[in-house]
Structure 1
Amino acid sequence: MTDTTAATRVIAGVELPAAGTWKVDPGHAEVGFVGRHFMLTKVRGRFTGVDATLEIGERIEDTTVTAVIEMATVDSGDQTRDDHLRSGDFFDVESHPRATFASTSVTVTGSEAVMVGNLTIKDVSHPVSLAVEYLGHARDPWGSDRAMFSARGKINREDWGLVWNMVLETGGLLVSKEIELALEVEAIRS
């Protein structure tokens, strides 16, 4: 018989989250990205408006993730750059206020997984592969169970029509096409 109150379970000798619904805590979620400026300097940004749900499957491979990202919440630490990212040159938040992610498959090896899903930005969808690591579990001071995850991936922003750029006098581009995705999230068991 399965213990329905335990927050974790052991599968193939590895502790993993219990099956069920886990909601991402937006106050403890870093949905970030890293691009390059002048093709050299890393510029980091994040979205603070994130609503995501993990449906952890009885079979861990049946796990699904859905997320909605409020694109106007982009924060790169520079108001001028953030306003440009919100404009029609990039996210066009007036016409496309949200991006979404919906997983399509999960391949698990121990506490790590590869999650593939469709990322939709500006009504354009493409598959994205994320290397996911389960970091562990904790019970918070209010009695809620939390599962912590880290994920990484890379995309070409031009695949989503985010093509604004400037050619530099010396050749090269002002803004990199390749964008690194970096996520750190805590999910609370429902």
Structure 2
Amino acid sequence: MTTSPTSATRELNGVVLPATGAWKVDPGHAEVGFVGRHFMLTKVRGRFTDVDATVEIGERPEDSRVTAVINLASVESGDRTRDDHLRSGDFFDVEKHPTATFTSTSVSWDGTAGTLVGDLTIKEVTRSVTLAVEYLGYARDPWDNDRTVFSARGKVNREDWGLTWNMPLPTGGLLVSKEIELSLEIEAIRQA
């Protein structure tokens, strides 16, 4: 491994990775998104705009950790009526459960890709989630902040967290899919 105390990256087994230490997710450059299906056909995309997260890069990538708090009221899907419904007791019930949390439990890593497993808690229900993660690179912004960029994907069954509202369709099937695709695009800033 090659690194220096002032370097924002390091070389590990011939691969350039972020330097060890704390990296704070920049909420203005973070997309915590999801995709569900309406009528089991149309993709409906949404995202959370208020996320507070930290990535702790370990000396060994496997020792890295991620923690996040998601403000569920910040959900946006491009339709105010749908967003209000997602905030209601039928789904997130933000008055009683304003946040969701994620805490990683394990990381496996190979080159610039890996698997992140963690506990996702929504409405006081905690379930394990697996995300395929890719390290996309490093950049220094015009204000001298070191930034590292990650992308992650996964799938969950929303009913595992008690998000069971639905309506049967007259032709068969359900109005809203149970399976939800998760999609994260994250920029994190190195902390001094």
Q: Say yes or no: TM over 0.5.
A: yes
Q: Residue 36 in 1 paired to residue 37 in 2?
A: yes
Q: Residue 70 in 1 paired to residue 71 in 2?
A: yes
Mapped to 2, the partners of 1:115 and 1:140 lie a distance apart of 27
1:121 counterpart residue number: 122
Q: How far 1:3 moved relative to its partner?
A: 1.1
Q: How far 1:4 moved relative to its partner?
A: 1.1
Q: How far 1:14 moved relative to its partner?
A: 0.7
What pairs up with 1:20-99 in 2 under 5 angstroms?
20-99=21-100
Give the SS at the match of 1:27.
strand
Q: Residues 60-90 of structure 1: CA distance to partner in whole angstroms, max 9, x if unpaired?
A: 1100000000000000000000000000000
Give the SS at the match of 1:131.
strand
1:17 counterpart residue number: 18
1:181 counterpart residue number: 182
Mapped to 2, the partners of 1:172 and 1:145 lie a distance apart of 48
Give the SS at the match of 1:80.
helix
RMSD across aligned positions (CA): 0.8
Task: Give aligned pairs, total.
Answer: 190
Provide the TM-score with structure 1 as the length reference. Answer: 0.99
Give the SS at the match of 2:83.
helix
Q: How far 1:2 moved relative to its partner?
A: 4.7
5+ unaligned residues in a row in structure 2: which ranges?
Answer: none
Mapped to 1, the partners of 2:96 and 2:154 lie a distance apart of 26
Paired AA for residue 184 in structure 2: L
Mapped to 2, the partners of 1:75 and 1:47 lie a distance apart of 6
Provide the TM-score with structure 2 as the length reference. Answer: 0.98
Give the SS at the match of 2:147.
strand
Paired AA for residue 135 in structure 1: L
Which runs of at least 4 in structure 1 moved beyond 2 Å after TM superposition? none
Q: Residues 87-143 of structure 1: CA distance to partner in whole angstroms, max 9, x if unpaired?
A: 000000000000000000000011001000000000000000000000000000000
Mapped to 1, the partners of 2:80 and 2:61 lie a distance apart of 41
Paired AA for residue 124 in structure 1: V
